[in-house]
Amino acid sequence: MKEYDFAIIGSGIAGLSFALKAARQGSVAVITKRKGADTNTAWAQGGIACVTSDEDSFELHVRDTLGAGAGLCDEAVVRTIVTEGPERIRELAELGVEFDQGQVSGHRELDLAKEGGHSKRRVLHVRDATGREIEERLLRGLEKQPNVELWEDHMAVDLITSAKLGFATEDRCLGVYVLDEKTGEVETIRSDRTVLATGGCGKVYLYTTNPDIATGDGVAMAWRAGVEISNMEFIQFHPTCLFHAEAKSFLISEAVRGEGGILRNHRGEDFMRHYDSRGSLAPRDIVARAIDAEIKRSGARCVFLDITHKPAEFIRERFPHIYQTCLRFGIDMLKQAIPVVPAAHYQCGGIKTDVNGATSLPGLYAIGEVACTGMHGANRLASNSLLEGLVVAHRAATAAVRTPARTQKISLPEWQSGNVQDVDELVVIYHNWDEIRRLMWDYVGIVRTDKRLQRASARLRNLQREIREFYWNFKVSIDLLELRNLATVAALIVDSALCRKESRGLHYTLDHPETDDREFKRDTLLSRG
Ligand code: SIN
C-alpha cells in the first residue's frame, strides 16, 4: 500500500492546477491513464473566457453564462467563478502561458476572441491551440515540484470507501485502487483527500471531438461509491467537427465562426439565418440542432463552414493548427469551405459538488469537467470550462489543505483479483463498446424521444449485465475498465434524460418540446439506492 496526502486522478487543467497548489503542503500522486498530456485540456482550441477588457464586465459575463444555462445555473457559483478568473489567469501567465496579443489603438493588448453566446470579445487564447500551451506549462511547473509523483499509464479502478470495506463509521473516501497498465497489477493507494479530475465522457458517443481517454471514468467510479450525480442529460454537441473519413475527432473551433465563418448547406446557402437571428454564431445547442435538421431534411452527409472571404494571411496566422490539419486531409480552408458535422463535446452534468469541489462523500473532491458545480446549468457557454477548472481547482486545493489529515491511519486491504484469467474474448469487449457508442448516437443524441430513450435503456441494462459478468470472470484491463465505465455513464445519461419530460438547453425531446419551468426548473439528481 502506498500513501499520499493527496491522490489526484487526471492530469488536465483541473488536476494539474490542484496538484501544483497541494504540493506546497504535502505529498501528491497524479494518476493518469496514458501520458501526462493525453487530456481533453490539451485538445482545447478556443481558449478561456475571462473578463479582462475595459469594455467588458463581470456582470455581462455572468448574464451570458446564465442565459446559456437556460435557468439551471447556480448564480452564486457563476459569480464566484467569473470574478475569481482574472487572478487565476495571472497565475497561468506567471507559469509562462503567453496569451495572444494584438494592436489596439496603437498599443498592445490581449487579443480577445468572440464565441457563440458571448456579448463581448472575452476569450483569451494562444492562437488555436490554447489548451496545449496551458497543459505544457502546467506539466513543466509540476516537474519542478519534488513533492509530486506523476503516475503515467495507470488507471484508477475504483474508489476505496469505508462503507465498501464494511466499517461502521461515517462513510468516507479512503483512497483508490489503481491498475498499472504495464505490469497488469492493481496497486492500493491510501489518501485522505482523493480528487477526481478525469474529464468528460465524449467517447460514449460514436462521434466526438474528445480524445480516447474521455470514457467517463470519474462519474462511473463516483456512482459506484454512492456519490450524487447531477444533470447527466445535458451533453453538449459541438456543431463543427471536421467531417472526413480519415479524420478522427478533429474540432473546428467556434472561434472560426467568431471571426466571421459562415455555415452553409450543400447548396451553399447561409441556412442559419432561417433558424436564429444570430446566424452562424447562435449558441451551440441551437446551431447543432439546426445542422441536424438541415442534414436530415436534405439527406446530405454534412454542412460546410466557410471562411474563404477572410484574408489568407489572417487565417494562417490565427488558425495555424486547424489550417495545417485540414490541409493534411486535402482541404484548403483558404479556398474551400470545411465539411463539418456536430459531435459530442462536453458533459455539463457530473459529480455534484459545491464551488470548492466537495462531493457528497467526505474525503472525495471532483473538479473540472467531471464535476457539476452549477456553473453550466443546462448548456455551457463556450470557453467557460477551462475557467471553471482553474478556479474550482484552486478553491478545492485551498479547502483540502485546510482539512486536517485523519490521525487514525487505516490499513487498506489489497485488491482481490479472485479466480481470474486473461481476457481472450477481446472481440466481445470491442463489440459492446461499438454497440454502446452507436446506440447512444442513434437514440440519445441531439434530438431525443421517449421511445428511443426507453429502447436505449433496455439495451444498456443487458449490456451492463454482460459486462459485469466479464468484470468478475476476467483479469482487469484498461479496455475492460473503460467499457464498464462507458456503460455506466451511458445508463446515467439515459436515466437522467428519461426523468426530464421537457426540453431545456441541451436536452431536446420531440415528445416534450416545451420548457416547463413549473415542474422542471431544477437539477436532476441521481444517487445509487
Ligand atoms: C471551441 O474552440 O470551439 C471549443 C471551445 C469550448 O468548447 O469551450
pLDDT for position 335: 98
Q: Whose CA is nearest to atom 5 of ligand 1?
A: 46
Angle between helices 217-224 and 478-499 (to 10 degrees): 80
CA distance 398 to 135: 21
Query: What's the CA angle centered on 413, arms 412 and 419, to 5 degrees?
Result: 160
Work out the pLDDT band at 418, boundaries 50, 70, 90.
low
What is the average pLDDT across 487-497?
98
With a cut of 70, say whether residue 461 has pLDDT above it: yes
pLDDT of 151-192, one tens digit each?
A: 999 999 999 999 999 988 889 999 999 999 999 999 999 999
Instruction: Verify whether ligand 1 is closer than 6 Å to residue 188 (CB atom).
Output: no
CA–centroid distance, residue 240 to ligand 1 (Å): 10
Question: CA separation (Å) from 363 to 93, 128, 209, 359?
Answer: 31, 37, 32, 8
- Of 433, 466, 461, 449, the C-alpha closest to 501 is 449
The ligand 1 atom at the shortest distance from the C-alpha of residue 385 is 8
CA distance 325 to 310: 18
Which residue matches cell numbers 468528460? Answer: 200
The ligand 1 atom at the shortest distance from the C-alpha of residue 49 is 8
pLDDT for position 248: 82
What residues act catalytically? 284
Instruction: Verify whether ligand 1 is closer than 6 Å to residue 15 (CB atom).
Output: no
What is the average pLDDT across 483-510?
98
With a pLDDT cut of 90, the percent of the chain lying above it is 89
Instruction: Verify whether ligand 1 is closer than 6 Å to residue 287 (CB atom).
Output: no
E strand intervals along 181-266 = 186-196, 229-230, 235-242, 262-264
Instruction: Verify whether ligand 1 is closer than 6 Å to residue 231 (CB atom).
Output: no
Half-sphere exposure at residue 336, Cβ-oriented, CA atoms within 13 angstroms: 11
| Residue-wise DSSP of 91-103 | HHHHTT----EEE
The ligand 1 atom at the shortest distance from the C-alpha of residue 254 is 3
pLDDT for position 62: 98
C-alpha cell at 483: 467499457
pLDDT of 332-389, one tens digit each?
A: 999 999 999 999 999 999 999 999 999 999 999 999 999 999 999 999 999 999 999 9
Instruction: Verify whether ligand 1 is closer than 6 Å to residue 385 (CB atom).
Output: yes
Q: Whose CA is nearest to atom 4 of ligand 1?
A: 46
Instruction: Verify whether ligand 1 is closer than 6 Å to residue 453 (CB atom).
Output: no
CA distance 479 to 484: 9
